């Protein structure tokens, strides 16, 4: 379904890699199999019997039957959906090691290559104008602020994972989401604070006295390096220590 779509894609990627490396038949040498159940008219009884009221949900069934509390992959949605987490959880539970190979996304590669080639051609054709922009620090400030908002704002939450801090309930009323699998209000405030600090920092840099011994070209390069480093660090920390499923990456 739409809710389980992102998790299902990562799950299918991990399962296909496991089957490719260990074989598909269920044997004593490979006593593991995977099952995916999607919600529909014919499987409502299955969800009711398992007591499932919130999806997506991943359980591990061992040799002893029904899964225990430790066999529910609750951290999957608290840390973010990712194939790395699926793979590590399976290896930890079963002891069956395997690698996950991500297929090349040719469509994305072609689009990105075309975009960078177009940018290079535009810079070559309009080099005098682009060279003059080294003095336009306000343009760089606005561009960096826009990029910060793009990488850390509600685009990630509201488009990729759905509205987590503010959602519409079954009765049609707007309510604050209280679950641990989505973005909480405190996390929203942290994101707002990061954006505010970045914006204020750029404004103070523009209002600060000009450094006479630095040429406009050098100051522009330093400004871009500092801004890119700040954004890359923020995205890296957010991806590694808060949400493993954060889909954005800049330089590292």
Q: What is the pLDDT of residues 181-221, one digit of tens each?
A: 445 566 667 667 777 777 776 676 666 656 565 666 676 67
Please state the domain extents for the chain.
Answer: 5-94, 136-242
Is it the case that residue 72 has pLDDT exceeding 90? no
In whole angstroms, what is the distance from residue 167 CA to residue 175 CA? Answer: 6
- Return the percentage of the chain with pLDDT > 90, whole number: 1
Tens digits of residue pLDDT in 76-106: 655 566 777 788 888 888 777 888 888 787 8
Spatial separation of the C-alpha atoms in residues 86 and 91, rounded to whole Å: 9
Report which listed range, 60-64, 69-73, 148-152, is most confident.
60-64
Interacting residues of 163 by C-beta distance below 8 A, sequence separation 6+: 154, 157, 177
- On the question of pLDDT at 245 being above 70, the answer is no
Spatial CB neighbours of 118, under 8 Å, sequence gap ≥ 6: none
pLDDT at residue number 57? 77
Q: Which residue has the higher pLDDT, 180 or 112?
A: 112
Contacting residues for 32 by C-beta, under 8 A, at least 6 apart: 18, 22, 26, 90, 94, 96
Nearest C-alpha neighbor of 152 from the set 93, 96, 193: 193
pLDDT at 188: 65
Are 100 and 17 a contacting pair, CB within 8 Å? yes
pLDDT digits (tens, 9 = 90+) for 127-161: 777 666 666 667 777 777 777 676 666 555 555 55
pLDDT value of position 183: 52
């Amino acid at each position: 379904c739409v809710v389980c779509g992102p998790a299902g894609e990562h799950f299918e990627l991990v399962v296909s890699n496991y089957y490719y490396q260990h074989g598909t038949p269920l044997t004593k040498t490979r006593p593991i199999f995977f099952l995916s159940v999607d919600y529909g008219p014919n499987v409502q009884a299955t969800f009711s019997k398992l007591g499932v009221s919130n999806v997506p949900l991943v359980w591990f069934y061992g040799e002893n039957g029904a899964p225990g509390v430790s066999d529910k992959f609750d951290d999957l949605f608290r840390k973010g959906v990712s194939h790395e987490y699926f793979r590590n959880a399976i290896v930890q539970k079963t002891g069956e090691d395997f690698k996950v190979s991500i297929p090349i996304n040719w469509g994305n590669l072609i689009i990105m290559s075309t975009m960078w080639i177009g940018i290079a051609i535009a810079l070559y054709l309009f080099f005098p104008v682009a060279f003059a922009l080294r003095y336009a620090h306000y343009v760089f400030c606005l561009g960096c602020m826009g990029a910060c908002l793009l990488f850390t704002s509600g685009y990630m939450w509201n488009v990729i994972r759905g509205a987590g801090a503010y959602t519409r309930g079954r009765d049609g009323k707007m309510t604050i989401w209280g679950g641990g699998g989505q973005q909480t209000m405190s996390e929203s405030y942290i994101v707002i604070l990061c954006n505010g600090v970045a914006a204020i920092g750029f404004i103070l840099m523009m209002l600060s006295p000009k450094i006479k011994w630095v040429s406009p070209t050098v100051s522009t390069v330093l400004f871009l390096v500092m801004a890119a480093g700040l954004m890359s660090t923020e995205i890296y920390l957010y991806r590694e220590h808060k949400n493993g499923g954060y889909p954005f990456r800049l330089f590292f």
